[in-house]
């Protein structure tokens, strides 16, 4: 699996495939993994999910921005989505990445952008979840959270189970609404667990600890074994359903998403929108290559095989290159 993960991480950074995905995205069935390319399309997707008893967290796709103009444009797009969530009265909140709002440009510039977003969301009682990225951006992102929390309470973040420091971080931020994930970036053994067994064990450990000691817990996984474990753990420890939720990605395990909502569990679908979806999708496959099996039938048909052909070709090329070296 490490080789497969490395390849998908490499694919996520492949600009040729990224451009092809933007050009052909909707023709290739990208609507099965992205809720829309526009705010209007995305709001309609959210309404459909809401009608099934499912909440949404909305992500304006794009990250690792190095130009102020691009960061400002992303901020404006997020502000428009916040307005749309309020105006359309849908059950949704915002997820965002600090690098999209300028963390790689200037810390204070990014903080100002975040403050504007969080302030607007706070006016409408909308929660902002600050996604965590790779190790290089980890501590600066926590610093941003600390600065924002001095004024606003409608902000939380993500704890990534593959980091050694995750236990320390979850204890420090136990009074925040936290999303707990395994982690999707390529990290070295200096900072993160490397094996599936170690990551899975820490994932369960963090979930249980925060359910018992923390505020609201978002458990982000497609693994039904983890989900069943959490359901049993909550029952045995008399943890009420309003203290946690399950989260999955838009387009993944749709039947299970609906089943959990119908069983009375809080459920939130992670809803990405925009045309910059390719890198996001590849990292989801890197995080858990089995995800490919969950979407391949519903995403790729005989009529839209261009992207899967490109991806398969790049996959094989990457593997051959790796083996040669």
CATH of domain 34-276: 3.20.20.220
User: Is pLDDT of 25 > 70?
Assistant: no
Of the ranges 20-34, 117-131, 307-321, which one carries the lowest mean pLDDT score?
307-321
Q: What is the pLDDT of residues 202-243, one digit of tens each?
A: 999 999 999 999 999 999 999 999 999 999 999 999 999 999
SS3 270: strand
CA distances from 85 to 58, 140, 175, 258 (A): 10, 29, 26, 22
Phi, psi of 177 (to 5 degrees): -70, 120
Q: What is the pTM of this model?
A: 0.83
pLDDT of residue 14: 59
Residue 319 binned pLDDT confidence (cut-offs 50, 70, 90): very low
**165 labelled catalytic:** no
DSSP string, 40-71: HHHHHHHHHHHHTT-EEEEEE-------HHHH
Tell me if 290 sits within 8 A of 278, measured CB to CB: no
Dihedral-angle region of residue 53 (phi above 0 means left; psi in -120 to 50 means alpha; beta otherwise) = left
Helices 68-88 and 107-123, packing angle to 10 deg: 10
Q: What is the pLDDT of residues 85-137, one digit of tens each?
A: 999 999 999 999 999 999 999 999 999 999 999 999 999 999 999 999 999 99
22, 3, 1: which is closest to 281 by C-alpha? 22
Q: How far apart are CA 215 and CA 127, in angstroms?
A: 14
Token pair belonging to 201:
């064990």
Burial 132-154 (b: 16+ CB within 10 A, else e): bbbbebbebbbebbeebbeeeeb
pLDDT of residue 254: 92
Beta bridge mates, 56: 92, 269
Q: How far apart are CA 201 and CA 162, in angstroms?
A: 10
Rg (CA), the chain: 19
Dihedral-angle region of residue 295 (phi above 0 means left; psi in -120 to 50 means alpha; beta otherwise) = alpha
Q: Which sequence spans correspond to the domains of the chain?
A: 1-30+290-325, 34-276
Tell me if 59 sits within 8 A of 131, measured CB to CB: yes
Query: Which position among 131, 169, 200, 276 bears the catalytic label?
Result: 131
42, 247, 291: which is closest to 158 by C-alpha? 247
Instruction: Report, as an integer, the average pLDDT of 31-47.
Output: 89
**179 labelled catalytic:** yes
Query: Which position among 59, 104, 169, 179 bears the catalytic label?
Result: 179
DSSP code, position 36:
-
Q: How far apart are CA 67 and CA 217, in angstroms?
A: 34
CA distances from 134 to 22, 58, 64, 105, 162 (A): 24, 20, 11, 16, 11
């Amino acid at each position: 699996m490490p080789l497969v993960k490395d390849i998908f991480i490499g694919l996520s950074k492949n600009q040729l495939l990224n451009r092809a995905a933007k050009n052909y995205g909707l023709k290739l069935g990208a609507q099965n993994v992205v809720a829309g390319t526009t705010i209007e399309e995305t709001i309609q997707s959210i309404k459909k999910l809401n009608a099934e008893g499912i909440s949404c967290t909305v992500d304006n796709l794009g990250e690792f921005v190095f130009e102020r103009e691009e960061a400002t444009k992303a901020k404006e797009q997020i502000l428009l989505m916040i307005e749309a969530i309020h105006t359309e009265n849908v059950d949704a909140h915002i997820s965002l990445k600090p690098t999209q709002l300028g963390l790689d440009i200037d810390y204070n510039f990014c903080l100002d952008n975040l403050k504007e977003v969080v302030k607007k969301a706070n006016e409408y009682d909308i929660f902002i979840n600050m996604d965590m990225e790779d190790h290089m951006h980890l501590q600066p992102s926590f610093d941003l959270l600390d600065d924002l929390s001095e004024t606003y309470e409608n902000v939380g973040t993500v704890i990534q189970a593959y980091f050694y420091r995750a236990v320390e971080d979850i204890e420090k931020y136990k009074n925040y609404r936290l999303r707990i994930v395994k982690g999707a970036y390529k990290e070295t053994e200096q900072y993160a667990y490397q094996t599936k067994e170690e990551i899975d064990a820490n994932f369960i450990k963090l979930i249980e600890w925060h359910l018992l000691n923390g505020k609201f817990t978002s458990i982000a996984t497609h693994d039904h074994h983890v989900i069943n474990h959490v359901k049993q753990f909550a029952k045995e420890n008399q943890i009420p359903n309003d203290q946690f939720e399950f989260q999955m990605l838009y387009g993944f395990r749709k039947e299970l998403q609906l089943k959990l909502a119908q069983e009375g569990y809080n459920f939130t679908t992670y809803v990405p929108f925009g045309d910059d979806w390719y890198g996001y999708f590849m990292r989801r496959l890197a995080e858990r290559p089995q995800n490919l099996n969950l979407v391949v039938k519903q995403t790729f048909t005989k009529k839209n095989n261009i992207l899967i052909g490109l991806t398969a070709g790049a996959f094989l090329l990457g593997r051959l290159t790796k083996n040669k070296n």
